[in-house]
Amino acid sequence: MGQLGTYALLLGLALSGYGAVAAALGAKTDRPVLVESARRTAFGLFATILVVNGAMMIALLRNDFALRYVVENSSRETPAFFRALSLWAADDGSLLLWNLILAGYIAAVALRFRRDRPATFPYALSVLFVVQVFYLILVNGLATPFATMSSRPADGAGPAPLLQNHPLMAVHPPFLYLGFIGFTVPFAFGIASLLAGHGTDEWVSIIRRWTLVVWCFLTIGLLLGALWSYSVLGWGGYWAWDPVENVALLPWLLSTAFLHSVMLQERRGMARLWNIALVIGAFSLMTFGTFLTRGSVLSSVHAFAQTAVGPAYLAFLAVVMLVGFGLLMWRLPTLRTPARLDSAISREAAFVGNNVLLLAAAAIILLGTAFPLVVEAVSGQQITVGGPYFKSAVTPVFLLLLLLAGTAPLLPWRATNRARALRRLRVPAVAAALVMVATALAGVRNVTAVAGFGLAALVFVANGQEVVSGLAIGRRGGRSGIVRTMLRGRRRYAGLVVHVGLAMVAAGITASSTLGQQTEVTLKTGQSTVFAGHVLRYEGLRTDQQPQRIVLSAPVKVNNVGGGGAGTFDPRMNLYPAATEPIGSPSIHRGVVWDLYASVISLQEDGNSATFRFYRNPGVNWLWLGGFVMALGGVAAAWPVRRRHDDDEAPTSVRRTRAPVEVGAV
Amino acid sequence: MRRITRRRGILLGVVAAVVSAVVVLLSTGLGKDPSVVASPLVGRVAPDFTLSQLNGPPMTLSKLRGQVVVVNFWASWCTECHTEQAALDQTWQQFQDSGVVVVGVNFEDTTGDASDYVRTAGVAYPVVEDTDSRTALAYGLRGIPETFIVDKTGRIVDRIIGPVDATKLSSEINEVLLAGAR
**pLDDT tens profile A5-57:** 999 999 999 999 999 999 999 999 989 999 999 999 999 999 999 999 999 99
Q: Which residue has the higher pLDDT, A252 or A419?
A: A252
Q: What is the pLDDT of residues A629-650, one digit of tens each?
A: 999 999 999 887 765 444 444 3
One domain, residues B66 and B2: no
Q: Mutation test of the interface with chain B: which of A297, A379, A576, choosing the one with the most B Cβ atoms within 10 A?
A: A297
Mark yes or no for CB contact A297/B108 under 8 Å.
no
8 Å CB contact between A185 and A111: no
> Which of A298, A317, A332 shows the shortest C-beta gap to B11?
A332
> How many of the other CB atoms lie within 10 Å of CB of A426?
9
What pLDDT, on the 0 to 100 scale, is given for residue A454?
95
What pLDDT, on the 0 to 100 scale, is given for residue A301?
45
What pLDDT, on the 0 to 100 scale, is given for residue A657?
34
Q: Does B30 touch chain A (CB under 8 A)?
A: yes
What pLDDT, on the 0 to 100 scale, is given for residue A647?
42
| Reported confidence tier of residue A144, pLDDT bands at 50, 70, 90 | confident
> How many of the other CB atoms lie within 10 Å of CB of B149?
24
What is the H or E stretch that residue A455 is in? helix A447-475
Q: Does B137 touch chain A (CB under 8 A)?
A: no
Q: Is B145 among the domain residues?
A: yes
What pLDDT, on the 0 to 100 scale, is given for residue A291?
86
Choose the weakest-confidence range: A5-14, A169-178, A444-453, A654-663.
A654-663
Question: CA nearest B19 in A: which residue?
Answer: A318
CA distance A43 to A26: 18
Mean pLDDT comparison of A394-398, A603-607, A653-657, B72-76, highest-scoring range? A394-398
Choose the weakest-confidence range: A181-195, A288-302, A615-629.
A288-302
One domain, residues B66 and B146: yes
Q: Is B41 among the domain residues?
A: no
Residue A446 exposed, middle or buried by CB count within 10 Å (0-12, 13-18, 19+): middle
What pLDDT, on the 0 to 100 scale, is given for residue B37?
55
| Phi (first) and psi of residue B36, to 5 degrees | -85, 110
Residues of A in contact with B15 (CB under 8 A): 321-322, 325-326, 329
Mark yes or no for CB contact B79/A72 under 8 Å.
yes
Mark yes or no for CB contact A374/B38 under 8 Å.
no
How close does chain A come to B97, measured CA to CA in Å?
31
What pLDDT, on the 0 to 100 scale, is given for residue A661?
36
Mark yes or no for CB contact B15/A325 under 8 Å.
yes
One domain, residues B159 and B71: yes
In the predicted structure, residue A163 carries a pLDDT above the cut 50: yes
Residues of A in contact with B29 (CB under 8 A): 295, 297-298, 373, 376-377
* Averaged confidence pLDDT in chain B: 84
Mark yes or no for CB contact A329/B77 under 8 Å.
no
Mark yes or no for CB contact B15/A314 under 8 Å.
no
How close does chain B come to A158, measured CA to CA in Å?
10
In the predicted structure, residue A658 carries a pLDDT above the cut 60: no
What pLDDT, on the 0 to 100 scale, is given for residue A302?
47
Region label for A319, one of left (φ > 0), alpha (ψ between -120 and 50) or beta (otherwise): alpha
CA dihedral angle for residue A625, residue A628, residue A634, residue A639, rounded to 10 degrees: -130
Mean pLDDT comparison of A488-492, A541-545, B37-41, highest-scoring range? A541-545
One domain, residues B61 and B10: no
Q: Is B45 among the domain residues?
A: no
Question: CA nearest A284 in B: which residue?
Answer: B19
Q: Does B43 touch chain A (CB under 8 A)?
A: no
What is the H or E stretch that residue A453 is in? helix A447-475
Q: Is B118 among the domain residues?
A: yes
Q: Does B117 touch chain A (CB under 8 A)?
A: no
Q: Quick one: average pLDDT of A592-603?
A: 88
Residues of A in contact with B79 (CB under 8 A): 71-72, 153, 156-157
| Phi (first) and psi of residue B120, to 5 degrees | -70, -35
Mark yes or no for CB contact A157/B19 under 8 Å.
no
Domain holding B10, by residue range, is 1-32
How close does chain A come to B69, measured CA to CA in Å?
23
Q: Which residue has the higher pLDDT, A468 or A336?
A: A468
In the predicted structure, residue B33 carries a pLDDT above the cut 70: no
In the predicted structure, residue B11 carries a pLDDT above the cut 80: yes
Task: Give the residue among A85, A86, A108, A87 at the shortest CA–CA distance from A97.
Answer: A87
Mark yes or no for CB contact B38/A325 under 8 Å.
no
In the predicted structure, residue A198 carries a pLDDT above the cut 70: no
Q: Is B39 among the domain residues?
A: no
What pLDDT, on the 0 to 100 scale, is given for residue A305?
46
Q: Which SS3 state, helix, strand or coil, does residue A162 take? A: helix
Task: Give the residue among A416, A370, A365 at the shortest CA–CA distance from A392.
Answer: A365
Q: What is the pLDDT of residues B133-169, one digit of tens each?
A: 888 888 888 778 889 999 999 999 888 887 888 888 8
What pLDDT, on the 0 to 100 scale, is given for residue A660?
36
Task: Give the residue among A367, A339, A331, A374 at the shortest CA–CA distance from A355.
Answer: A339
Q: Is B42 among the domain residues?
A: no
CA distance A139 to A96: 7
Q: Which residue has the higher pLDDT, A118 or A625?
A: A625
Q: Does B79 touch chain A (CB under 8 A)?
A: yes
> Which of A157, A332, A373 shows the shortest C-beta gap to B26?
A373
CA distance B49 to B71: 11
CA dihedral angle for residue A62, residue A68, residue A69, residue A74, rounded to 10 degrees: 50
Which amino acid makes up residue A478? G
How close does chain A come to B171, measured CA to CA in Å?
20
How close does chain A come to B64, measured CA to CA in Å?
27
One domain, residues B65 and B124: yes
- Residue A559, CB half-sphere, CA atoms under 13 Å: how many? 11
What pLDDT, on the 0 to 100 scale, is given for residue A216?
95
What pLDDT, on the 0 to 100 scale, is given for residue A324?
94
One domain, residues B82 and B172: yes
CA distance B162 to B144: 7
Q: What is the pLDDT of residues A462-495, one digit of tens each?
A: 999 988 888 888 877 777 777 887 777 888 899 9
Residues of A in contact with B165 (CB under 8 A): none
| Reported confidence tier of residue A666, pLDDT bands at 50, 70, 90 | very low
Q: Is B43 among the domain residues?
A: no
* Averaged confidence pLDDT in chain A: 86
**Per CB distance under 8 Å, which residues of A are interface residues toward B?**
71-72, 153, 155-157, 291, 295-299, 303, 305-306, 310-311, 314, 317-318, 321-322, 325-326, 329-330, 332-333, 373-374, 376-377, 382, 577-581
First CA to last CA across chain A, in angstroms?
Answer: 46
Q: Does B1 touch chain A (CB under 8 A)?
A: no
Mark yes or no for CB contact B38/A382 under 8 Å.
yes
Choose the weakest-confidence range: A183-197, A252-266, A645-659.
A645-659
Q: Which residue has the higher pLDDT, A242 or A191?
A: A191
Residue A109 exposed, middle or buried by CB count within 10 Å (0-12, 13-18, 19+): buried
Residues contacting residue A188 through CB under 8 Å, at least 6 positions apart: A109, A123, A124, A125, A127, A128, A131
Mark yes or no for CB contact A295/B30 under 8 Å.
yes
Domain count, chain B: 2
Mark yes or no for CB contact A580/B136 under 8 Å.
yes
Q: Mutation test of the interface with chain A: which of B26, B30, B73, choosing the one with the most A Cβ atoms within 10 A?
A: B26
What pLDDT, on the 0 to 100 scale, is given for residue A398?
96
Choose the weakest-confidence range: A90-104, A124-138, A187-201, A570-584.
A570-584
One domain, residues B73 and B163: yes
Mark yes or no for CB contact A157/B79 under 8 Å.
yes
Mark yes or no for CB contact B34/A296 under 8 Å.
yes
What pLDDT, on the 0 to 100 scale, is given for residue B103?
94
In the predicted structure, residue B39 carries a pLDDT above the cut 70: no
Residues contacting residue B71 through CB under 8 Å, at least 6 positions apart: B46, B61, B103, B105, B139, B147, B148, B149, B150
One domain, residues B64 and B20: no
In the predicted structure, residue A59 carries a pLDDT above the cut 60: yes
In the predicted structure, residue B57 carries a pLDDT above the cut 80: yes
Beta bridge partners of B59: B51
Q: Which residue has the higher pLDDT, A97 or A472?
A: A97
Region label for A525, one of left (φ > 0), alpha (ψ between -120 and 50) or beta (otherwise): beta
CA distance A316 to A313: 5
Question: What percent of chain A stands above pLDDT 70?
Answer: 91
For residue A161, the 8-state DSSP code is G
Residues of B in contact with A376 (CB under 8 A): 28-29, 32
DSSP letter for each residue of A104-144: HHHHHHHHHTSSS--TTHHHHHHHHHHHHHHHHHIIIIIS-
| Reported confidence tier of residue A307, pLDDT bands at 50, 70, 90 | low
What pLDDT, on the 0 to 100 scale, is given for residue A36?
94
In the predicted structure, residue B46 carries a pLDDT above the cut 60: yes
Q: Mutation test of the interface with chain B: which of A329, A332, A335, A549, choosing the one with the most B Cβ atoms within 10 A?
A: A329
One domain, residues B149 and B66: yes
What pLDDT, on the 0 to 100 scale, is given for residue A333?
81
Q: Does B113 touch chain A (CB under 8 A)?
A: no
Question: CA nearest B164 in A: which residue?
Answer: A306
CA distance A225 to A201: 36
Question: What is the CATH number for B109?
Answer: 3.40.30.10
What pLDDT, on the 0 to 100 scale, is given for residue A643?
52
What pLDDT, on the 0 to 100 scale, is given for residue A451?
95
Q: Quick one: average pLDDT of A115-131?
A: 92
| Phi (first) and psi of residue A192, to 5 degrees | -60, -40
One domain, residues B9 and B76: no
Q: Which residue has the higher pLDDT, A250 or B79?
A: A250
Q: Quick one: average pLDDT of A585-596?
A: 89
Q: Does B108 touch chain A (CB under 8 A)?
A: yes
CA distance A637 to A369: 32
First CA to last CA across chain B, in angstroms?
Answer: 67
CA distance A661 to A639: 25
What pLDDT, on the 0 to 100 scale, is given for residue B36?
54
* Cα-only R_g, chain B: 22
In the predicted structure, residue A654 carries a pLDDT above the cut 50: no
In the predicted structure, residue A435 carries a pLDDT above the cut 70: yes
Question: CA nearest A330 in B: which residue?
Answer: B8
Q: Is B37 among the domain residues?
A: no
How close does chain A come to B28, measured CA to CA in Å?
6
Question: What percent of chain B stands above pLDDT 90?
Answer: 25
8 Å CB contact between A154 and A186: no
What pLDDT, on the 0 to 100 scale, is given for residue A663?
38
What pLDDT, on the 0 to 100 scale, is given for residue A200?
66
One domain, residues B131 and B59: yes
ipTM score for this prediction: 0.74
CA distance A595 to A508: 12
CA distance A70 to A66: 8
Q: What is the pLDDT of residues A409-431, one digit of tens each?
A: 888 787 666 777 788 889 999 99
Q: Which residue has the higher pLDDT, A310 or A468?
A: A468
One domain, residues B17 and B95: no
Q: Quick one: average pLDDT of A51-78?
A: 90
Choose the weakest-confidence range: A57-66, A265-274, A470-479, B118-127.
A470-479
